[in-house]
Structure 1
């Protein structure tokens, strides 16, 4: 560009810096006007294809005559326009921080909503603990159960879809399976057995609702009748002390504690050992009869939950200097991993090589990838390149949609009913949008509420009324967000 411009200048002005600079600016302005014309033409075609009757505002270039002879690109008869710009933000979709869950002594890597309980949330923290929070309307939200079995940072926490089981992955190179003991406030047995698909007609805890506005038809939770002792610590730990007294009590004694007291567990049901490095993440497979885990040792392992043995392992997956960042499953047989080299991989342990598909999804680290709830052929990925992309496994050459964000994306989540994506970002924002990129809400941290550090993960409640976000800050490690309800509507809700 510079050489052609210099050749077009008169010989008397080549050595004049001001003349050269003015000439360059004119050339840039011409190119910019050409781009404006092309952009206006694309807007017209897009409005025509979408059947929109709205008027499109066109910007006219300054030098219209020059643009006609500047050699703009010829029009093609067929053109495919892919618009990834976010749609307008509706006034009704404003989300506010309503509850801050404090108690962790270090940052939280991941939050996970319980699929079989309407009032439980799990969190994994760098303080070597995993916590189960009891979300009871009309009372202070506090940790109900704290798991202390790991000797390193707890990097992920995942609930079993049907049973009262939890899988945690840790920096101590192990995965632990442990059981949630029955609590004083029981839950409906059918509610325990059914999946989140039934929650569409069930009211869920919301910080905006009072206690009398929530269903009171809550029966007893399924009790498996175990009489064996569990290594459980009694009351909540003192926040100012690191010395935690350990008391051995039975499950029957646990039921006598009030809901406001914290149960602390040190014993696990099964410990999965074999990784040579910290375990980054682990998730359930095959309806809970298997577990898959990924580690910084560049390996992915598949485990049998009956005896804790490794059924399949694939080593040295990445090139030197790269490792896994996260793993998610469809809860059947397939798992999807993301890694620092920007590649997402789909795995199936039933195949000889394990890998079904490898996609170079991001220009930098891919931090998370998830199967959509409606279709296992569609996956969504997010990474440090500030992009969230939708992929079709049947044709992975190009993304179906690309959503641009303001900062790097961490471990995101998809709502179970409407497939709304909650994208946690490094700039302390959480973007809510659909798979097409249409913006449905924005969770922005500020002085009055929210996070003061990058957001590490998100989780949806079963009925999509609450979005949980986690951060690497001690003061506001977990925040619950709900849609802002006007005063008149809130009064009507409490009266019903």
Structure 2
């Protein structure tokens, strides 16, 4: 409620008098203090400065009181005007004081309100129509440690593979969320998993320094047969489901690879198949990449050049081109189409390059710990076509070949979407119940999957399936 102005003025005067008296007492006390170590001139100067400061505060305080009174008076008039009080309405400042002017002012005010509401509603509705829908559809549970990579089968978009620090790689059914096969042949953390583009094969890499080639298929009995093995009188439905899952995991476990690729003397961080499917390239912390023959496991060529550990390797989807990323802040393009194998070095980042992937036939997208993502043209490597600045380090990104959208996973648990021109599309939701709770390590697009067209994995042991709708409604 408003405070009486006379009471305020009286209080202000008393307060001012009290401050003057207290200041005078303080000055007298300091002047009479002969034990002070300060010289008399310094003390006088300080007293003068403090007095000026006090005057400034008093002036500000007085102005504040006056402004508060004005605000309260205006609020009273406004309340009276809204309530239809004529006395309050008459106190409003209208130039000619006529009723016609009052009605005109009220009419203009109402028109402004209606126009503002209409324009705001239209703007908000346009935003709602243009906002893409990012929905988490499915989650896949089973790994006991962080998941380093997720990948989609080249032959069946309803099958994905994951590589985990729990020393296993798993094959999943996208629709049911069940683990179809658990590969437990590695002795160390499984860092990557990639599907062969031609054959029904998978390569996985590990911290033990090797890469394994194995088949992602396994002959399992129908789920209904397993369910019938338990008597309905002995087990409840939930117990039967748990027993069936354990039996499926036991029967769907694989420990022996078809072929083991040996040649590195340190962690093999990634591997990828060439477009023919008969050769593959591995990348290691020993600063080299090796071209292997998938049929024989023979070392065809060792690729030297990086000054520090490699972080990623990706092959071109239709040509014999490979790009390797490294902690030396560069990524290199290796051309296996030429017998001389020319190499192009990209120097555009200031910190370790964590990922570099092909986008279409003529572009490469790179991401780095320097919190940038850059799009490059293979025909002009001097400067990037687009640069996207992030707020966190970038991990293994992926580009949708059909939509030309870059999905970017981050250390700060976010996943952002951009187009190849560097325009931001959106960010996937993240809350206590949706999204990742720790670092997102990898993403993978599944453009042909009607249920989930993108997958993500993180160090929170989660593998999530998303439906990304980027079509803007007119």
TM range (shorter): 0.5 to 0.7
Q: Which of 131, 144, 154 lines up with 2:190 in the alignment?
A: 154
1:119 maps to 158
Aligned position for 2:375: 390
SS of the aligned residue for 2:256 comes to: coil
SS in 2 for 1:347: strand
Given that residues 454 and 468 in structure 2 are in contact (C-alpha distance below 8 angstroms), is that contact kept between their aligned partners in structure 1? Answer: no
Quick check: 2:181–2:218 contact (8 Å CA) kept in 1? Answer: no
Q: Does 1:329 align with 2:329?
A: no
Q: Aligned residue for 2:298?
A: 309
Alignment of 1:413-432 (within 5 A): 413-432=398-417
**For 1:437, what is the secondary structure of its paired residue?**
coil
Q: Does 1:448 align with 2:436?
A: no
TM-score when normalising by structure 2: 0.64
- Would the aligned equivalents of 2:220 and 2:251 in 1 still touch at CA under 8 Å? no
**SS of the residue 1:288 aligns to:** coil
Match of 1:178 in 2: 214
In 2, are the aligned partners of 1:236 and 1:261 still within 8 Å (CA)?
A: no
| Distance of 2:208 and 2:338 partners within structure 1 | 30
Shift of 1:180: 2.2
1:170-319 alignment to 2 at 5 Å? 170-181=206-217, 263-315=252-304, 317-319=305-307
Equivalent residue for 1:69? none
- Corresponding position of 2:423: 438
Give the alignment's Cα RMSD to 1 decimal.
2.6
State the Cα deviation string for residues 457-486 of structure 1 (Å, max 9, x = none).
Answer: 101113265211110113xx211122479x
Aligned length, in residue pairs: 322
Identify the residue that residue 110 of structure 1 maps to in structure 2: 149
Structure 2 residue runs without a partner (length 5+): 1-126, 223-242
SS of 1:291's partner is: strand
SS at match of 2:428: strand
Distance 2:339 2:157 in 1: 40
The reply on whether 1:365 has 2:352 as its aligned counterpart is yes
Question: Normalised by the size of structure 1, how large is the TM-score?
Answer: 0.61
Tell me the equivalent position of 1:493. none
Match for residue 165 of structure 1?
201
Residues 169 and 395 of structure 1: CA distance in aligned 2, closer, same or farther (over 3 Å):
same
* Partner Cα distance (1:457, 1:428) in 2: 11
Cα deviation 1:165-186 (Å, max 9, x = unaligned):
1011111111111012255699
Aligned to 1:64: none
Residues 295/416 of structure 1: CA separation in 2 closer, same or farther (3 Å cut): same
Deviation at 1:100, TM superposition (A): 1.8
Q: Pick from 94, 101, 104: which aligns with 2:140?
A: 101
Instruction: Report how far residue 113 of structure 1 moved.
Output: 0.9
Structure number with larger C-alpha Rg: 2
CA distance in 2, matches of 1:354, 1:184: 44
After superposition, the Cα gap between the structure-2 partners of 1:448 and 1:266, relative to the gap in structure 1 and judged at 3 Å, is: same
Q: Give secondary structure in 2 for the equivalent of 1:444.
A: coil
Q: Any conservation in 1 of the 2:315–2:322 contact (CA below 8 Å)?
A: yes
The aligned residue for residue 346 of structure 1 is 333
Report the Cα distance in structure 1 between the residues aligned to 2:459 and 2:340, rounded to whole angstroms: 37
Gap change, CA 1:104 and 1:285, over 3 Å in 2: same
In structure 2, distance between residues paired with 1:288 and 1:145: 22
Higher helix share: 2
